[in-house]
Every structure is written in structure tokens, then in C-alpha cells.
Amino acid sequence: MDTVKPILKAEKVVEIRFSEVDSVNIVWHGAYALYFEDAREAFGAKYGLTYLNYFKEGYYAPIVELKFEYKRPLFYGHNARVEIKYRYTEAAKIVFDYEIYDLQDGQLVATGYSIQVFIDLDYRLVLNNPPFYENWKKQWNLSDN
């Protein structure tokens, strides 16, 4: 019998800096990757799934897929809230979903997702969940074992 997995989520508020906008005063598309990264770091700090933990356990977790869907622009001087949610999968990968909101008016400005895989310290792809990741999933009632 399948049990409902808990929803793990976090958020990060970011201030739109001048260096992140283009000549028409809207956030340059490349800055969104940094906002997603900020959210992943906030998630990791909240739930104990950080890049330093991966490395300490003998793994890297590079991003192999990153998707954005832009809904409306963000402007210099605004603040945005990036919401991140862990997407459960049995596979040896980490998937996050994102939503970014403009705090000026609460409107959704972008959505997206990221997929990370595990590689060992010799840069070889790891096909099974590393033990530390399985333990992390069990800690948060996300494991099927």
C-alpha cells in the first residue's frame, strides 16, 4: 500500500540587484538560475541536504537538467520569494520544483524545476541512491524501504 509522502518545502526571499537586470530594467534570464540555487541552499539548510554534506559523504550532485518558464518580468528594486519543493522519486537523483513570486504584487513570475544526479569523487555516475541519501529519505519519511 502506497503511503502519502510528506511535502518538504522551503523559501528564500531575494532582493533584485542592479547587476541582475538588463538594459530595459528587467531581470536577465540567467539570474533565475541563481535564484533557484539560493532556494536549494535554503532547502539544504532547513532539511540537512547540502552540497557540503554530499562532498563529505564522497559524492557530488551536479545539475543535469534545469527548466524555467517565465510568466512575467521582475524589475530592479523589487523583492522576490522563491519557493522550492522536493519532488519524490525512487531514482538516484534529486528533483526540485520552484515558483518565484514578485513580492510587490504577489504575482507568479516564473516556475521551473531542476534535476541533480549523484557522481562519485572520480566523476563516475552513481546509479543507486547513496547510503547517506537513503538515510536522509528515511529521516523525512520519503523512503519506500
Could you give the count of Cα atoms lying within 13 Å of 10 in the half-sphere of its Cβ? 18
pLDDT tens digits, 41-62: 999 999 999 999 999 999 999 9
Confidence of residue 5 (pLDDT cuts 50, 70, 90): confident
pTM greater than the 0.85 cutoff: yes
Query: What are phi and psi for residue 12, nearest 5 degrees?
Result: -140, 130
Listed in order, strand segments (DSSP E) in the chain are 9-15, 59-60, 63-70, 79-87, 93-102, 108-117, 119-120
Kindly list the structural domains of the chain, giving each domain's residue range(s) and its CATH number in brackets, ordered by start: 9-139 (3.10.129.10)
Confidence of residue 145 (pLDDT cuts 50, 70, 90): low
